[in-house]
Structure 1
Amino acid sequence: MCTPIWPFSEVPHIFFSLFIVHSVVLILYVVCAQYGPQSDAGNEVNSEYNAHYANIWDEPNQHRFHRQQNGVKMEVFQDVHVMIFIGFGFLMTFLKRYGLSSVSLNFLIASLVLEWAILINGFFHLHHGYIEIDITSLLGADFTAAAVLISFGVVLGKTTPSQLIVMALVEVPIFALNEVIGRKYLKAIDIGDSMFVHAFGAYFGLAVSFSLFRKDTDSENMGSTVTSDLFSMIGTVFLWCFWPSFNSALAPGDDQHRAVINTYLSLVASCVVACAVSSLFHRSGKFTMEHIQNATLAGGVAIGAAADLMVQPYGAMLVGSMAGAISVIGFEKVTPLMDRVCRLHDTCGVHNLHGLPALLAAVVAAIMAAASSEKVYHASVYTIFPAMAPVANSTQLKALQDEHPHVRAGLGRSAGSQAFYQLGALLVTLVIAIVGGLLTGLLMRLPVWERLESEDLYSDRRYFVIHEDEEAHDNDRPQALQTPDKGV
């Protein structure tokens, strides 16, 4: 057999796409990015700090306590990082012939988004003309990656790597713009990013799916097996365990304690109720793995926007219970209706795990904002809801600052007005996500990008090396191993 003269790929579009994008990003890092003050060894404050604590290495707990006072705890950051790469990656492995693609493309797209998001988010928060990188900015990039991966779940198995690269590059700046509008201008609070990450990612992805509509989405590869469902449960369990860190990562002090407690209780409740409702929808009272893999997580999304608020333990459990039930009902009733009537095909059921619970979260946050007062939160109401603090140079602000110097001037909003702005932030998020997703989907439809043929839908074969013996074994797999139909 003759050795080919050109030993590399005959279709190097993926290589060139990634090479060009990564090269541009690298140049931007050279020109625009630098360490933040807490990471800069040239910062005199850090030199004095290190000298002061150099002699207490024999007291690791005390040393770690001091090292964490001015930044995000490393443990919390790592929890969120695990959610992005293991949680989301394995959650998508439920498709019987798309496991390699689910984990690997999740890995690729998330990594691409992280390096891109640090820059884009940084451009909105420049310091002396530079983007300063610290643990908080890395955590912000992880949140951005979560939004993009949520959108990825909607179009899972129906897009090529080139199309996914385009979607990621376009979605990140739109995401950042929406978050700036919601947090900086509308002064909405969303500690667990239910609106700015989950709602945005879900409805952006649904809009992309609408623009990419194709009639051949019902493929024999679309099903799952016991093995693929089991791998998907790995992602579910990781996400479920680490979700309290996701919702509490950026909350300070007692706010962080409440965020962990509320998320914990909401997740527990959503798991119990989702399992109960799942069995209700099956004629033989069986559990459906699609529900167990997704609806059990809905409580983490639904409590997110109000995770740091005084929801009370019973309130957190009530929200989680509602989310678990709504998510299962969404899988059973809403998803088929959207597919049949609205031309919206949602591969992973993202609308039921992220979209619907995020809408519930926004309503819960608005209700809690309307009920907020000094009687409930004391002076911390003005740090949790900064816009509710008295306006600058007012006698009310002066009297408040005499007793609580940390309170800054706000906009003098009432609790009712803050609730209105919370709902306004949700509306703006939905509009930006849907319009941005529709335009991005149209961009992804351009013939310059490679598209999948019908036989390649939900299959690893097109973009991954599959060993012949494994492929033959997959084709010969007994039908008894297939996940049973819901109606059996």
Structure 2
Amino acid sequence: MLLKYRRMKFMSLLIFQVILMVLYFWFVKYGSVKEFDVQGFEGTHVMIFIGFGFLMTFLRKYCYSGVGFNMFLAALVIQWALLCQSWYHMKDNIIYITKKTLLEADIMAATILITFGALLGITSVNQLLFIAIIETVFACFNLWLITSQFKTADIGGSLAIHTFGAYFGLAASWAMAYGRKKRPDQQNQLNRPIYSTDMTAMIGTLFLWIYWPSFNSGLTHSNAECQRAIINTYLSLAAATVTAFIVSSFVHEEGKLDMVHVQNSTLAGGVAVGAVCNMHISCGGAIFIGIGAGFISVLGYSYLTPTLAESSVMDTCGVHNLHGMPGVYSGLLSILFSYLATTDVYGDEYGVVFPALANASNLTGGPPQNETKTSSVQALAQFEGLIATLGIAIIGGIITGALSKIAIFVPLKEPEKYNDAVDWELPK
């Protein structure tokens, strides 16, 4: 009976895939060719499948699952996210797919893969798939709320993607551990890397590092805005990398480097600059942001992750340090830079970069009389977007994590965690 169940464990997912096919037949058509030249799609696509995939291969006995389940989840979520995101913008009950909407779906897939990083090795594949389907609904709602309703500026997804994915995963991790009499086994010998797996994980790091400017600039509206996003992201990444190496050596008793910091904290600059990468933050400002991100991330891995584990919040990849805290940092920076923005600096881009100010002249029924007042509107929108993202992610994560504990999803027993042998046919 058990063998029969194992062979049929993905049958419900096959049904879901067929349902998706029917929905695509019914609602989806090819969109306008005008968005064919959208930038960033190819680079982002590489990040999702190679970057995230290989970054997950650092565990000694979970490499198949790391890269394999990453591909599985991404392929599922891209299809589901295309529908969930587009339902808020349907025209005559038709969803029009373009290269831009494909890019948006890829970006949404990053949210779920960030959550996957927090839960890597501690959840069954059935739990992962269930969480991915439900989280996509929550994440798309949050994206619509903060961008369409609050008019939050978040061009690089630091709030809607990185912050949401990290705190959803952490909340789900806490909910899955809540009520257990025994804490998760933090000393599981499989929950650590070996030399070869650390090297394969670095492949993911390098692909993410190289293509992160494409990720942050993909949804920009003009060449000038795109160029700023690329420059700011590149400089922030470079500064975070240098800082990560320096701080990694500083926190180690013998002054040695930690590969965990090199694999992850070097990328924190891309997250931290995401919400402000298209703004006039200055080149020096981008470097400053990267330095701060490097400090935050390395110190988080060194001191905060062990504390979370003691509280039964397992965060296998440390997404709190790469995506969560740098994402919140980016949100706070966006409040500051939005408040400081002026029309003298931005000119015609003022209402494009800051969507809450697109109709700034209508705030008082005429031309804006107090520019500080209008910029404070965008700053408030940034604050609302940050709070809403944290609230929806944490509440949604707790609910989804709690539901995933149901026996039908076959939660892993402690000895089964971080082990490919549970789901994969391994070489003899």
Q: Shorter-chain-normalised TM-score: which range?
A: over 0.9
Question: Which of 270, 273, 277 lines up with 2:243 in the alignment?
Answer: 273
2:9 maps to what in 1? 14
1:228 maps to what in 2? 197
Structure number with the bigger relative contact order (C-alpha 8 A, sep ≥ 6) is 2
Amino acid at match of 1:124: Y
Distance apart, 1:9 and its partner CA: 5.1
Question: Which of 385, 388, 397 lines up with 2:354 in the alignment?
Answer: 385
Distance apart, 1:338 and its partner CA: 1.5
**Normalising by the residue count of structure 1, what TM-score does the alignment of the two structures yield?**
0.83
Q: Separation in 1 of the partners of 2:348 and 2:101? A: 28
1:350 aligns with 2:319: yes
Q: Separation in 2 of the partners of 1:461 and 1:423? A: 45
For residues 279-303 of structure 1, give each alpha carbon's deviation from its aligned partner in whole angstroms, at most 9, with x where no partner exists: 1111221110110000000000000
Q: Separation in 1 of the partners of 2:49 and 2:22? A: 26
Question: Which of 345, 357, 377 lines up with 1:417 in the alignment?
Answer: 377
* Other structure's SS at 1:166 match: helix
Distance apart, 1:310 and its partner CA: 0.3
1:76 maps to what in 2? 40
* Other structure's SS at 2:422 match: coil
Q: Separation in 2 of the partners of 1:15 and 1:181? A: 33
Would you identify which runs of 4 or more consecutive aligned residues in structure 1 move more than 3 Å?
72-75, 392-395
2:297 maps to what in 1? 327
Unaligned runs of 5+ in 1: 1-5, 39-69, 398-411, 469-488
* Other structure's SS at 1:34 match: strand
Q: Separation in 1 of the partners of 2:94 and 2:175? A: 37
Q: Tell me if the contact between 1:92 and 1:102 (Cα under 8 Å) persists in the aligned partners.
A: yes
Q: Tell me if the contact between 2:356 and 2:377 (Cα under 8 Å) persists in the aligned partners.
A: no
1:367 maps to what in 2? 336
Question: Which of 98, 106, 114 lines up with 1:150 in the alignment?
Answer: 114
Distance 1:393 1:357, change over 3 A: closer
Q: Tell me if the contact between 2:57 and 2:201 (Cα under 8 Å) persists in the aligned partners.
A: yes
Question: Which of 12, 23, 26 lines up with 1:28 in the alignment?
Answer: 23
Alignment of 1:32-431 (within 5 A): 32-38=27-33, 70-71=34-35, 73=37, 76-213=40-177, 215-218=183-186, 219-253=188-222, 254-340=224-310, 342-388=311-357, 389-391=360-362, 394-396=365-367, 414-431=374-391
Q: Separation in 2 of the partners of 1:371 and 1:423? A: 14
Unaligned runs of 5+ in 2: none
Q: Tell me if the contact between 1:72 and 1:250 (Cα under 8 Å) persists in the aligned partners.
A: no
For residues 84-119 of structure 1, give each alpha carbon's deviation from its aligned partner in whole angstroms, at most 9, with x where no partner exists: 000001001110100000000000001000011111
Number of residue pairs matched?
A: 418
1:477 maps to what in 2? none
**Normalising by the residue count of structure 2, what TM-score does the alignment of the two structures yield?**
0.94
For residues 406-458 of structure 1, give each alpha carbon's deviation from its aligned partner in whole angstroms, at most 9, with x where no partner exists: xxxxxx96112211220111001000000000000011011121121222110
Amino acid at match of 1:31: W
Q: Tell me if the contact between 2:172 and 2:398 (Cα under 8 Å) persists in the aligned partners.
A: yes
Distance 1:320 1:17, change over 3 A: same
Distance apart, 1:343 and its partner CA: 2.3
Question: Which of 444, 447, 453 lines up with 2:413 in the alignment?
Answer: 453
Amino acid at match of 1:16: M
What percentage of residue pairs aligned between the two structures are identical? 39
Q: Separation in 2 of the partners of 1:354 and 1:99? A: 22
Q: Tell me if the contact between 1:387 and 1:413 (Cα under 8 Å) persists in the aligned partners.
A: no
Distance apart, 1:395 and its partner CA: 4.3
Amino acid at match of 1:381: Y
Distance 1:128 1:392, change over 3 A: farther
Amino acid at match of 1:168: A
